[in-house]
Structure 1
Amino acid sequence: MATKKLKRALPFIIAGAVILVIAVVLVAVLLTGGSGKDVLKGTHQHTSAIPTLGAAVNAKEDYVQIAESDTYKLYYYEPQFAVRLENKKTGKVIESVVSDDKDNGKNNEAWTGYMKSGIVLSAIIGTVNTYQVDMLTVPNTITTHSIDNGIYAEIKFNGNYNFEIGVEVKLDGDELVVRVPDESIKENKKGTYISTVSLFPMMGSTYLDEQEGYMLVPDGNGALIYLDDKEGRYATGFSGLIYGIDDGMTNRTASSTLWEEYETVTASNSVLAPVFGMAHLEDELAYLGIVESGDERCSIEVVPNGVMINYNRCFAKFLLRDVFTQPLNQSNSGTVPAVESDRLHSDLAVRYHMLSGEDADYSGMANAYRNYLLDSGRISKRDLSYNTRVDFLGTEREEFLMGTKAVTMTDTDQVEDILKELNADGVGSILSVYKGWQKGGLYNVPITSYNADSHIGGDGALKSLIKDQAANGNSIYLYDDALSVNADTNSTTYNVMKMVNKRTFKNEVNGEVYDLFYYLMPGRSSTDLGRLTDDMNDDEIGNIAVAGITDTLFSYSYKGNYYSRTDTMDIYSDAISKADEKCSLLAETPNAYIWNSADAFLDMPLSSSDYLYLDEEIPFLSMVLKGIVPTYSEYVNFEANKTENFLKMVESGVYPSFYVTAEDPSKLFYTNSNDLYSLEYSGYRETIAEYDAALRALAQKTGDACITDHEILDNGLVKVTYDNGVKIYVNYTESELSADGLTVKALSYEESE
């Protein structure tokens, strides 16, 4: 009897087991995004071996020559770990330390040690991060060996520190390469750590106004600090972490707001490219410094005279380990300082492109950086066809009863009508990024599949729009913030980033509807972007505009383990590279390590952060990228001085961008986009056509040429020279100006060939 019952029950048992297995699989799919385990660590190679060592080098008494190129001789002095580069033709030199004859003798022991050391460390003892370790004030031993066209120095800092570090210095052609192999860094005393490493912090330094020239600052598109006497006006100089702040280490401060709702202060620019530079114009000698390795955790320091000492200096400062704030409980009512459990594991390397003669200026620096990017495969030439960028906002959300309701600003039919009208007005080709296209609207993130909001027309209507506009010469890209997750519209139990202190990172905004966002774990961002681009491909949609992960790097923790900005950089760059293989990909304000995966650069800054110590704005990044990859401006709508902004696009070769809606922006008053006050297309139709006509005509003349020279003439006129012979003259003043036989009206421009 029991056997018969078992036989009858067996099909039900099997069915139940199958259902259970399916349920487990479905749960796993929901929790992992359907793609298995997300990647946690980066896989790129960031270290290389210590070079093969030759004979010992004796440079204890004076500088000795250690290398030579066609243009330069390289000398080395061991006690200060100092180098001197001499131009063989002119005899002019650049030194890595302040020489005795240029020492004004007015500095204390610590600053004297800093000025006369080719390498300066800062140390953490316990949790105190205020100790300077240099070649003069800290007992040390140094052993120097010859290598191919240079030296390798093994430095041991004794006393309270017991650090070891090796530094390779060599000439590679006319370029000076300085590298600290990761394996050479040793912290031999428990509780004592290396925090930062500054390589050649006084390289090319000048005293007050002894030398005419400037320093290149990688702020915004680019800026200069002149080498004039600042007369002690500034308490600080430029200090910018390459690729922006680390949200895994530092809590974000609340934005300055009006009535706790409207942001009133614009954030400063991030450092997008790992570069800095010094130009001695009288000596016709300059260098461009490129941080080749360790850039993901390195700051660029550009400091004018009068800030602590009367010397102008610029350098790279690598952050190996830092102190952070560790809460003692969930309420954060008590905190203690703590030290990162592990340091940065990467070689630390800076390449100095030495420039002389007519090339010893910021134009020469831009040309050198462009050639470096191309020669090293860090960027490749893209389609440079001119387009005017006109972006659209699809749907937003406002609160309604117990939930939200759609606020539709531009549906697919309206997008089609606007593009048709602009084409009829003579706007020949348009590039559009469609924001808020996804189900749930602009802030329903992350996006993991192609699922268009029904209020703009749904999947079919959007697909038809993209296909039809491509036939008309217009390109529509779907916007994807691949970084953020909305706490109100998505589960945040899994896959959100935790800071190094194991607290979940929160991006609190002053939103009308949504006020809390999190960051996805890097591996989850990669998974989601892969799923979305696969799904788009299945629907024959091949255009995506990626944001968030293009300009953000952070350290993070997961299940008690620490992951660095290096891991995040590797994961993001791999994800974007794979997406670029499947789609045409635009990147919003991209960091330099993903430039090679972007078909265009969106939101190129045209201005600096307007720090008081900056003397001149220059379009450095535009000079590097023009003729290689198309760049698009930030939105014209929100620029206070539209005439100046237009002239900056003329000067830099950047294409214009507009953000429009078919509906009146007053409809956004109760949404998170209520700060977008000037959007309605009808108010910008003529402006778009005017910008397009002027800038398209200019682009036809410059073609795919690169900018080879940029000058600010004595009368204030700006002259831009392309390698095809075209010259652009821009007049930012309110008076008529002349140069080279051309007269340029006030607040206008002229071109010649």
Structure 2
Amino acid sequence: MSLIKKTVAYLCVVSLLFFGAVSLVTGEEQPSEVSDRFSDDQADRAIEYKINSYTSPEPNNSAAIAPREIPSGFELAGQTDSLELYIGEQMQSFMIKNKRTGYVWSSVPDEKWLKEEKLNEEWGSAVRSPFLLEYFDQNAMLKRGSYRSLGATTESMVPVPGGMKAVYAIESLGIKFSMEVKLENDSLVVRFADQDIVENGSGKLASIQPLPFFGAVRNNEIPGYMFIPDGSGALIRFQATHPRYDQAYEGRVYGMDYAIEYSDLWAVNEQPILMPVFGLTHGVKQNSFLGIIEDGKYSARINAYPSGVNTGFYWVSPKFMLRYPYFQRTSKNMGGFNTFQANRNQEDRQVRYLFQSGQDADYVGMAKAYRSYLNERGAISPKQGSDGNIPLNLEMLGADKEPGIIGNRIIKMTSFDEAEKIVDDLRGRGIDNLSVVFTGWGKGGQNGSNPDKFPVGKELGGEKGLVELKNRLADKGVPLFLYNDYTNAYGSNGNFRPNADGIRTAGNEVLQETYYLWVDQESSSDLTVYFINPKVASSIAAKDAERFGKMGMDSVAIGKTGRLLLSDHHPQKRLSRKQSAEEYAKLAGALREKLDNVGFYTPNEYLWPYTTQMFEMPMYSSQYMFATDTVPFLQIVLHGSVDYFAPPANYNANPKEYLLRMVEYGAYPSFKVTSEPSWKLKYTLSNYMFTSYYEDWKEEIVSTYERMNEALRQVQDATIEQRNMLDWGVVEVVYSNGVKIIVNYRTKDVQYENRTVPGMDFILAGGE
């Protein structure tokens, strides 16, 4: 893609952030009262508080939701201390009863709603089915159906511990597969064993959606919302009146697989999905569940349908992808044909449902449940000993290259000596906890010759200068992270062979992208970017770790490799997305074994166990039309376990509002700077760094840090336990150590427990 597209997309996002806003919702105890409510002052009711980059106050719906009756045809199939599982005829429907509250969750909507909805035959069958399917017919056409519409039968049912396993047969397609539904450790588990899939007919499975209408709600017959892990997190509230949406939400867990799904690689503004989770609430503070995709997550999607797309129901479910369609080229002039993967992704598929009730029945309770789940499995662990000032992330660009009359020339932006001067200047201004990431340190600068990084750029001070910088910063207690990328290769550098070592698409083409300068559409070949096979990347990282160790370098920061997950269809080196993720985990493990610190930019959940710091974590959702709220689900999961930094503050269009969001989300500040003025990058691929000059930003860096340190230094090791929306634009965040941070995004002052929270400001309460 052209760099101009990339830059325009980036600027669009920045512009959207100008209109961004805040989030809040009720917590475990009664939220504090706030006076000066908007209802009495329409002039202060700014429209930005009501858009979906904020969180809405919860409506006053205190009436308890009556539980459904379990029909006589359902049989008890399993139970735990808190749950009972009931199965309908031929395992076509399921009900879960919470023994403590009496509330009942069902895989089929209430019969009264079904009669009122007057669905057509296709959707009338779908809402009563235990699964939805997509399949390819003999003409490679993708078709859809359900248990009922496809004329499926339940061939057999056998008991398993805690539940039942059924084998479903679709005779017309020659397809059979099993679905296991059981209770396990006070959760509901739905599992598909890959070894039980039989495809002996004309149909080839493309996807399976289990229990698609589990907990579905018609319009707003029950108050509540769906949760989707879009960016920091988003809600889709149940509403009586709404637009008739054209599309549902279909989120790709861990992003798009460009090796098999076509897209302009950079023309995507949507926020990433870093976690394989989703959720649904029936009455805030009454009943909710969190779904966690455990197996098959690397090729899974999360589908959330708002009322108005095909039916009047809100419903959310996982979608397991078994095969993908693709275009097979047969000539250079784009001739070819549509086909699909001959071999399905061979892995088991499993989703686990965790249920919440009472004060934990909302998205905060879901996030806390997921946090506990990850802690139990060692993916994250509580931090301890962070009793000083908060960290500040400073990313410095060493150099990049620009095209010259003969070849390229290096544009030096920050030498190693200049980097130390910047650090010393900030330390002299009172910032003593710095985390420095140095990019563009190798030959050719930031967009030089990856994966061949060495020698260290002589324009910056060479390897000797880099080692001296690391040692001098270490003496000051400042870690120096060297930026590395194990995803992209620039041309055929460092013995990288695109045909052998690069990722292949499903059509057996080498996956590549070309970066263009604004002024140079005829880019030189070294700006052609290939994608490194994950096994090759793991080998490169292991060698790098050895060399870094010999140099005395102890910290690295990994770029795209943390969030971009691709399959590889090379005939001799095939890798599924699961296998690629496993290779990246090996890569991260090898680095952690040799180095003290491994930071990742926007890492997917499978890399969290290896991550000591997280950079550029999402602070917003994608703000789709059907999403009603943005929430910090991701931050509630992570706070108190790992240091995470917001995207650079000097690239946000509304720094004052952004500071408040960082404070509210518990995210530490970061800045991207250079010692030389930004205009020198005009003819480089780093020209998106249009405001990086340190001299322009040093005062802002210090003032931002001081304000944020005032708020967050007391809660560095604490977890977020409540997030209460007190009014439009006023939020209370409650931490496990009793500290409360009250953020007021409004322009007017508000009163909180006999204290004033100034407009566009925050205060602290509680704690020691």
TM-score (norm 2): 0.86
Q: Which amino acid aligns with 1:312?
A: Y
2:663 is the counterpart of 1:650 = yes
2:624 corresponds to: 611
**Please, which of 402, 407, 422 is the counterpart of residue 406 of structure 2?**
402
The whole-number CA distance in structure 2 between the counterparts of 1:270 and 1:627 is: 22
The whole-number CA distance in structure 2 between the counterparts of 1:497 and 1:173 is: 41
2:503 is the counterpart of 1:497 = yes
2:193 corresponds to: 181
The whole-number CA distance in structure 1 between the counterparts of 2:245 and 2:372 is: 35
Moved more, 456-465 or 245-254: 245-254
2:707 corresponds to: 694
The whole-number CA distance in structure 1 between the counterparts of 2:71 and 2:178 is: 17
2:314 is the counterpart of 1:302 = no
Q: Deviations over 1:406-452 (max 9, x none)?
A: 10000011001110010000011110110000111101242356531
Q: Deviations over 1:498-539 (max 9, x none)?
A: 111001111233335664211011111111111111100011
Q: Is the 8 A contact 2:288 2:357 kept in 1?
A: yes
Residues 225/419 of structure 1: CA separation in 2 closer, same or farther (3 Å cut): same
1:471 corresponds to: 475
Q: Is the 8 A contact 2:400 2:410 kept in 1?
A: yes
TM-score (norm 1): 0.88
Residues 680/102 of structure 1: CA separation in 2 closer, same or farther (3 Å cut): same
Q: Find the residue that maps to 2:430 and give its secondary structure.
A: coil
1:250 corresponds to: 261
Q: Which amino acid aligns with 2:286?
A: E
1:372 corresponds to: 373
1:670 corresponds to: 683
Q: Find the residue that maps to 1:720 and give its secondary structure.
A: strand
TM-superposed deviation, 1:192: 1.8
Residues 255/349 of structure 1: CA separation in 2 closer, same or farther (3 Å cut): closer
Q: Deviations over 1:637-685 (max 9, x none)?
A: 1111111211111011110110000101111111111221100001111
Q: Is the 8 A contact 2:258 2:265 kept in 1?
A: no
1:198 corresponds to: 209
Q: Deviations over 1:590-641 (max 9, x none)?
A: 0001100100111101011121111111111000000001101111111111
TM-superposed deviation, 1:382: 5.0
* Larger RCO of the pair (alpha carbons < 8 Å, separation 6+): 2
2:244 corresponds to: 233
Q: Is the 8 A contact 1:242 1:273 kept in 2?
A: yes
Residues 738/145 of structure 1: CA separation in 2 closer, same or farther (3 Å cut): farther
Residues 243/579 of structure 1: CA separation in 2 closer, same or farther (3 Å cut): same
The whole-number CA distance in structure 2 between the counterparts of 1:364 and 1:212 is: 17
TM-superposed deviation, 1:127: 4.3
The whole-number CA distance in structure 2 between the counterparts of 1:725 and 1:229 is: 38
TM-superposed deviation, 1:707: 0.4
Residues 408/573 of structure 1: CA separation in 2 closer, same or farther (3 Å cut): same
Q: Is the 8 A contact 1:449 1:531 kept in 2?
A: no
2:75 corresponds to: 64
**Please, which of 310, 313, 328 is the counterpart of residue 311 of structure 1?**
313
Q: Is the 8 A contact 1:448 1:531 kept in 2?
A: no
Q: Is the 8 A contact 2:305 2:315 kept in 1?
A: yes
Query: Within 5 Å, which residues of 2 pair with 1:15-414?
Result: 62-79=73-90, 81-103=92-114, 104-142=116-154, 143-159=156-172, 161-189=173-201, 191-253=202-264, 267-281=269-283, 284-329=286-331, 331-381=332-382, 385=386, 386-414=390-418
The whole-number CA distance in structure 2 between the counterparts of 1:158 and 1:232 is: 40
Kindly name which structure, 1 or 2, has the bigger radius of gyration based on alpha carbons.
Answer: 1
The whole-number CA distance in structure 2 between the counterparts of 1:275 and 1:298 is: 11
Q: Deviations over 1:112-157 (max 9, x none)?
A: 1111112111111124443223221222221222221111111112
Q: Which amino acid aligns with 1:443?
A: N
TM-superposed deviation, 1:693: 1.6
The whole-number CA distance in structure 1 between the counterparts of 2:442 and 2:285 is: 58
Residues 522/383 of structure 1: CA separation in 2 closer, same or farther (3 Å cut): farther
TM-superposed deviation, 1:98: 2.0
TM-superposed deviation, 1:488: 7.2
1:508 corresponds to: 514
The whole-number CA distance in structure 1 between the counterparts of 2:755 and 2:138 is: 66
Q: Which amino acid aligns with 2:150?
A: V
1:5 corresponds to: none
2:600 is the counterpart of 1:596 = no
Q: Deviations over 1:678-699 (max 9, x none)?
A: 0000111111111222222323
State the identity as a percent: 29
Structure 2: 5+ residue stretches without partners: 1-69
* Count of residues in Structure 1 that have an aligned counterpart in Structure 2: 683
TM-superposed deviation, 1:193: 0.3
Structure 1: 5+ residue stretches without partners: 1-58, 257-265
The whole-number CA distance in structure 1 between the counterparts of 2:588 and 2:80 is: 39
Q: Which amino acid aligns with 1:88?
A: K
Q: Is the 8 A contact 1:731 1:747 kept in 2?
A: yes
Q: Which amino acid aligns with 2:121?
A: E
Q: Find the residue that maps to 1:529 and give its secondary structure.
A: helix
The whole-number CA distance in structure 1 between the counterparts of 2:751 and 2:611 is: 39
Q: Is the 8 A contact 2:227 2:236 kept in 1?
A: yes
Q: Is the 8 A contact 2:396 2:419 kept in 1?
A: yes
TM-superposed deviation, 1:715: 4.3
Residues 397/666 of structure 1: CA separation in 2 closer, same or farther (3 Å cut): same
Q: Find the residue that maps to 1:580 and give its secondary structure.
A: helix
Moved more, 229-238 or 494-503: 229-238
Alignment RMSD (CA, Å): 1.9
2:587 is the counterpart of 1:575 = yes
Residues 421/326 of structure 1: CA separation in 2 closer, same or farther (3 Å cut): same
TM-superposed deviation, 1:317: 0.3
The whole-number CA distance in structure 1 between the counterparts of 2:251 and 2:141 is: 19
TM-superposed deviation, 1:394: 0.2
Moved more, 698-707 or 680-689: 698-707
Q: Which amino acid aligns with 1:441?
A: G
Q: Is the 8 A contact 1:217 1:224 kept in 2?
A: yes
Query: Within 5 Å, which residues of 2 pair with 1:529-540?
Result: 529-540=541-552
TM-superposed deviation, 1:337: 0.9
The whole-number CA distance in structure 2 between the counterparts of 1:186 and 1:113 is: 24
